[in-house]
Amino acid sequence: MKEKLTKEKLLELLDRLMHPKAMSEKEGDDVLNAFCAGCPDPVQARWLVVECVDPMTDEELVERAMAMPMRRMAEVPIAELPAGHPLRTLAS
């Protein structure tokens, strides 16, 4: 299983996502995937960043993502994360 990132590194990646500076769509996707892959549950971390409507600071979001239980990508059903999604290999 891939080593998870430190709180500081996750905050750095999240800051890049929330305040992009001349970042292409691909670069943004790569940063999002790196952030999610560095969390205990990459799928739920992605949900927090992309779809969650709860107002949170970056620090709160990272703390919430880090508090999630560890989940292996092999255990995530295809219905929840498509077979070819980059997180399947990045977070393995």
Amino acid 1: pLDDT:
54
Helices (H) and strands (E) in the chain, counts: 5, 0
- Residues with Cβ within 8 Å of residue 35, at least 6 apart in sequence: 5, 10, 13, 14, 17, 45, 49
pLDDT per position as a tens digit, 48-72 = 999 988 899 999 999 999 999 999 8
Amino acid 41: pLDDT:
95
